[in-house]
Structure 1
């Protein structure tokens, strides 16, 4: 049985969800960001128990199909921006269509309806949060960050960074203020 879970954005989230499901007596076969496959079918009472347990950790079971699709899009983008080893070689719409096996126009419509923002704005927000992380660690130059985040130039990254945050990457780095958001707050 498959469960869709909101706010699973990192490996620690996966560990917490798996541990809590096991404490409740379930056998998770696979735990991915936003999705869990259980060995057994569960009852509606089981779903309530799981939901109540996961709420304590900021997670939420998703029952509605549109909400599940929106969360799958967010998960795919988070994986792409924060965990992918290689830069994206196709455009975002083709990537998402391939990942979710749906037409991009349908995905875009659902996401905009459920999240009150476009996929592109969400994607940019995730890239800026990743840039903030990289700037905070200070191990890469701005041009290396732009390259890793698949920007065409440092100027493009800087312009988007300023548009989203109100300050330039250089000012952000110099301020050393950690104004980063957690991934589920983006």
Structure 2
């Protein structure tokens, strides 16, 4: 992830596909877990569309994204109990940012983990700030086994989460997005920090 997302910040919240993706991710989460009252990290939060949907019922949310302009868009919404961090996630940020000092009940990553340079290593970093028994939930484009292109297969998600130290992992295809002449499935990975 990098600040190249700055150029998308101005129109992000008015993009119907982006709004639909956030709505679908939120409903898929609600169909899987009840995060009311939880402390949540929104990893790769962008302009905070998922953060907005979670903010009314969460105890608090830390929203992290490397795009300063996306974070500025989120900050302008003045959401209650939401703190933002404009940064990549690395060991230094985990050790030195007070907002990451307490562990989270839930980490969400909506269309974010496909953009990191090392998927498994990023999952390991996220696991460090997730409480024992806490959940990590990701959504990204689904790629069938053997397909070229962008996204993750179920095997890739399960293998990376297992290698990162999560022992309870499940995947599903909770929704699809219609594009110009095609339909793209979205994979949801759910992992529990058992250790």
TM-score normalised over the length of structure 2: 0.29
Higher helix share: 1
Which has the larger Rg?
Answer: 1
TM-score normalised over the length of structure 1: 0.29
Higher strand share: 2
